[in-house]
A = this chain, B = another copy of it.
Amino acid sequence: MVAECRHGNTHVSFFSDLISTVFERRYRRALSDQADGRSLRELAMDLLGTRGEVSGSALAHMILDRYAAMSTDDKIAFFDFLTHDLGIVAEDVQMTLHAYQNVPSKDSYRAFAAASEPRRQELARRLNQVPGGTAQLVAMRRDLLRMLADHPAFAPVDVDFKHLFSSWFNRGFLVLRPINWSSPAEILEKIIAYEAVHAIDSWDDLRRRLQPADRRCFGFFHPAMADEPLIFVEVALTRGIPNSVQDLLADARTEIEPEDADTAVFYSISNCQAGLAGISFGNSLIKQVVSDLSRDLPQLKNFVTLSPIPGLNKWREATGPETTATDQDQAIAAFYLLEAKRADGLPVDPVARFHLGNGAMIHAVHAHADLSENGMKQSNGTMVNYLYDLSQIAKNHEQFVSDGSVIASTEVRTLAATVHREK
């Protein structure tokens, strides 16, 4: 046998994975024997107490396992406990704040810092110390988000979760990985499951998105959730900027050589973890991929999306110009993207807000670009290219956030102006 053990070690890791699993399994069994009538609340208090220092990982496992098996009602009771029993104590905050103001010192500051952070944050950190803990905490927040509408009192718990996750899922801890036909099946099946924009209906369909030389896919991963993509983007390498997603994904399309492409099209971006809602990765992902692709394929000139306009028809019905002539679709979409604003001055369209907020500009608008049922329903099939020019995005972004300026190509401006005049 080749000494794969040391160097390639797939073989070896398999048996060891197995060993781990067996070991883990026995360990969990032993744990459940200890389950000894203590309530989840008591276990949580133990974990926060001195016991937690030494038997922390056993306690953390027990709590997470119990939580996972709970009914919705029990989960509600648990979040209630987090909300009311492990929140801040206003008097403590005030007292320690005064003490710190009077005598600013290490001790007085530490006391204030401890008092002003609710204990549920420390609980989450201690639960996070076991393998798989991070993923289970993300799942816990997913549950919480679903309950918030009915239980608005839990909102502070969510604020704390989001605060912790922003720190743990800091961009500096994320890993960009290509996802391709050599990726593990357990990751690929998640791509099929999570694709949110243009559904992948089978493994063969997936292969068509990943295997051809003119297709790419990249995702962000976190080291503590190594099998779970956080967000991924699908890219097509093309000659020219495409104006139809069906053409882009057509079975019969002609594959091109990557080095013959002049354009990279980000035609689908999907967030994967409901429990990480509000933690933004998309901006970093696109910029990282633009940067990596330009290094790899220096002849690429354009980095654009081919994006849906999800709010177009809804807006049109409510407040749009009266024409229903479809030969106006393009101009109306341009108008909508440039002019339809919310009270805060930002575009009505959520996808527009995302890309313009990233510093992209509106490059072109295409009618008949997404003839799928969903595409017709949301925008009569009209789509838009947002263009990422690394040398402009900082400037574009600043204009956008300072006064809501939407940067667009002359062509798009002209189209929008047509509508303006008509109105």
By a beta-carbon cutoff of 8 Å, the part of chain A in contact with chain B is 1-23, 25-26, 50-51, 53-55, 57-58, 88, 90, 93-94, 97, 100-101, 104-106, 109-110, 112-113, 116-117, 125, 128-134, 152-153, 155-156, 158-160, 163-164, 166-168, 170-178, 180-186, 188, 203, 207, 213, 223-224, 226-227, 257-259, 283-284, 288, 292, 295-297, 357-359, 393-394, 397-398, 401-402
Interfacial chain B residues near A2, Cβ < 8 Å:
131, 172-175, 223-224, 226
Are the C-beta atoms of B172 and A54 separated by less than 8 Å? no
Residues of B within 8 Å of A53, CB to CB, are 283, 357, 397, 401
Q: List 14 additional contacts besides A53-B401, A106-B152, A128-B172; criterion CB under 8 Å.
A: A1-B172, A1-B288, A3-B226, A6-B226, A12-B12, A15-B292, A18-B258, A57-B171, A90-B100, A113-B160, A129-B171, A167-B167, A182-B185, A184-B185
Give 4 closest A-B pairs by Cβ, nearest first: A106-B155, A14-B178, A116-B116, A12-B16
Contact check: which of B10, B19, B257 meets A296 at CB < 8 Å? B19
Whether B6 lies near A133 (C-beta < 8 A) is no
What is the chain B residue whose CB lies nearest that of A359?
B54
For the complex, would chain A's binding face be called helix, strand, loop or mixed by DSSP majority?
A: helix
Given known contacts A19-B295, A106-B159, A178-B14, is B167 in contact with A168 (CB within 8 Å)?
yes
Copy number in the complex reads: 4
Say whether, besides A7-B8, A22-B259, A106-B152, A296 and B172 are in contact (CB < 8 Å). Answer: no
Residues of B within 8 A of A224 (CB): 2-3, 172-173
Residues of B within 8 A of A153 (CB): 104
- Quick one: which of B133, B159, B185, B258 contacts A110, CB cutoff 8 A? B159
**In the complex, chain B residues whose CB is within 8 Å of the CB of A128:** 170, 172-173
Interchain CB contact under 8 A, A184 and B181 = yes
Q: Do residues A186 and B178 form an inter-chain contact, with CB atoms below 8 A?
A: no
Considering residues A2, A288, A357, A398, which has the most beta carbons from chain B within 10 angstroms of its beta carbon?
A: A2
The answer to whether A8 and B8 touch (CB under 8 A), given A172-B1, A185-B185, is: yes
